[in-house]
Structure 1
Amino acid sequence: MKSKYGIHLIIFLFIVIIAYGSIQNPFTVNYIDQLKQESIMVSKMQDPLYEQIAKEAQKYEKPPIDAVVDRVWKAVPGYNGLQVDIEASYEKMIKQGRFEKQKLVFREVKPNVHLDDLPPTPIYKGNPEKPMVSLLVNVAWGNEYLPDMLKIMNKYDVKSTFFLDGSWVKNNPKLAKMIFEEGHEIGNHAYSHPDMKQLSASRINEELSKTNEVIYATLEVTPKWFAPPSGSFRQEVVDIAASLNMKTIMWSVDTVDWKRPNPYSMVQRVLNNVHPGAMILMHPTSSTATGLEQMIVGIKNKGYQIGNVSHLMDESRISFGVTLD
């Protein structure tokens, strides 16, 4: 009996050893590859160059910024964070065997809260950490100034967001197409330039929907941004725009060009008030047509890029903004 149990025990142990060996066999290809990878990683981490990159990386890291509803500025978009890709940076420097700041490789880190996660709220500016501004051109009149404005924007490779009045598009399809074909973004500016704050819900919906319909019929594009005429709105306007998949856009810097100010004074006022994330309101007027070039040059000289609203609201970094000295 003892010998019988002994044989069974030996067989059981033999099976266990075989099973364990098939998993942990140090001579299997996968296990050997794993050991190689671990050895390489340990070797890298012990390399003074790798250690230096890891240490320097901490200087340039920037945490992502979540989108928020600010008490004053309402909805503010998020902004990607920044990290040094230590592995990629190491691979770029390993041949020379020395640390070079200009060879650091960066990757962006997305925030946890995005603009689309926020409740319907008006937007007055982009993220204050993003060195970009947007030109908002509200169009319901001023046809004679549009060609010159478009030429100046084209000269400096500036793409803006033009908020078009629906009835204007219906009456001026060629000009609307000219704006769109120049690569500018198209927004909704209601149909008949009404005081949106005073309209019923059904009229608000009609003004927005009708404008989207005529813009699509003319340009085959559906706006995702809405600018209330004269900046007049109430929360219901914002909610109805959101139901039509549009966010409500306001501004943080105003040219007040509809008052026909002196172009030089207007430009200086804008440049004195421009800031990272600024949205600059303008119209096709003689003042803007005359001062636009000086304004664009001044904005760029301050270190800002100029992009349309979609570019400004995007969380991506337009540049890493890291000083490596």
Structure 2
Amino acid sequence: MAMRSDVRSDILISREANTNSLYQKIQAYSEQSRIEPIDAKVDRIWKAIPGYNGLEVNIKASYKKMKASNDFDKNKVVYKEISPNVHLEDLEPQPIYRGNPQKPMVALLINVAWGNEYIPEILKILNKHQVKATFFFDGSWVEKNPELAIMINKENHEIGNHAYSHPDLKQRSMTDTIEELQKTNDVIKATLGKKPKWFAPPSGSFNQGTINIAHQLNMKTILWTVDTVDWKKPAPAEMVRSVVTKVGNGSMVLMHPTMPVAVGLKDMISEIKAKGYQLGTVSDLMSEKRISLN
């Protein structure tokens, strides 16, 4: 019954479209305010970059909201997202260093192969600030520390693959690389019941063969835009200042469970948000979905 009512309403709206001044005002506003979608692409420098949805006015829905008053009201405009023609999944296997440069979001990448003593504090800060990060797990670390892996997973952070034994994959054979990645996926699946879709090569060392193998295992390869270089033990305030001045739309920030991160993470999150960015997981950042900061 409701479905028939909706159909009748749409027919009436269509009949009014050519004569109703309110409908025509909404149409004119729609033409002025349309934002075109951005296709995913392979950039010469940044390699694979995800697409970003466009935005247009849902004319019929907007008209329904304004019809009672018969006045055009920008606050009652209903929008709908427009999907790009080319998606990240359509691109050839390439590393990903950043999200779309039009998306006001930043992702925190936390590679875990050591630093157990700092993980509880890092989780506490992330929880307090309602931020979800993407943790990339070394497979051998998960085997030795299943309780910590489970703790991170229970906080609903995203889990990625960081190979099994922190190898230099650029120097490894295809057979070794497959074993490193597959073994880590198996351990994560057995421990957490999930399979990663993102892979971060240890020390950022990889070649095209590494990228191809990750692709064959249904994972995309993630690098970073901004590096905390926390393993060099910088002063936390200095590290935060360096990161915050470098982040922009689509940035991915690399870090590890270290003292500088445990001490500086709170300020880093606050200052990134103060610059107008949302914080999300790699999946959030790679999504074509638009975000609103209102």
Alignment partner of 2:49 out of 52, 61, 76: 76
Partner of 1:238: 211
Partner of 1:28: none
Q: Which amino acid aligns with 1:216?
A: K
Question: Any gaps of 5 or more consecutive residues in structure 2?
Answer: 1-6
In the alignment, the residues of structure 1 paired with residue 251 and residue 109 of structure 2 have an alpha-carbon distance, to the nearest angstrom, of 10
Cα deviations by residue, 1:118-159 (Å, 9 ceiling, x for unpaired): 111000000111111100000000000000000000011101
Confirm whether residue 125 of structure 1 aligns to residue 98 of structure 2. yes
Alignment partner of 1:163 out of 119, 130, 136: 136
After TM superposition, list the pairs within 5 Å mapping 1:252-263 onto structure 2.
252-263=225-236
Deviation at 1:58, TM superposition (A): 2.1
In the alignment, the residues of structure 1 paired with residue 272 and residue 13 of structure 2 have an alpha-carbon distance, to the nearest angstrom, of 49
* TM-score, normalised relative to structure 1: 0.86
* TM-score, normalised relative to structure 2: 0.95
Query: Looking at CA atoms only, which structure, 1 or 2, has the larger radius of gyration?
Result: 1
Partner of 2:25: 52
Give the root-mean-square deviation of aligned CA atoms. 1.6
Cα deviations by residue, 1:208-237 (Å, 9 ceiling, x for unpaired): 011111111110111110000000000000
After TM superposition, list the pairs within 5 Å mapping 1:1-325 onto structure 2.
41-319=14-292
- Give the secondary-structure state (helix, strand or coil) at the position aligned to 1:236: helix
Equivalent pair of 2:93/2:220 in contact (CA under 8 Å): yes
In the alignment, the residues of structure 1 paired with residue 8 and residue 124 of structure 2 have an alpha-carbon distance, to the nearest angstrom, of 63
Question: Any gaps of 5 or more consecutive residues in structure 1?
Answer: 1-33
In the alignment, the residues of structure 1 paired with residue 11 and residue 266 of structure 2 have an alpha-carbon distance, to the nearest angstrom, of 59
Percent identity over the alignment is 59
Q: Which amino acid aligns with 1:282?
A: M
For the structure 1 residues 148 and 39, does the alpha-carbon distance in structure 2 shift closer, same or farther, using more than 3 Å as the test? Answer: closer
Deviation at 1:303, TM superposition (A): 1.1
- Give the secondary-structure state (helix, strand or coil) at the position aligned to 1:306: strand
Cα deviations by residue, 1:71-107 (Å, 9 ceiling, x for unpaired): 0000000111101011111110111111110110000
Q: Which amino acid aligns with 1:122?
A: P
For the structure 1 residues 117 and 37, does the alpha-carbon distance in structure 2 shift closer, same or farther, using more than 3 Å as the test? Answer: closer
Displaced runs of 4 or more, over 4 A: 34-40
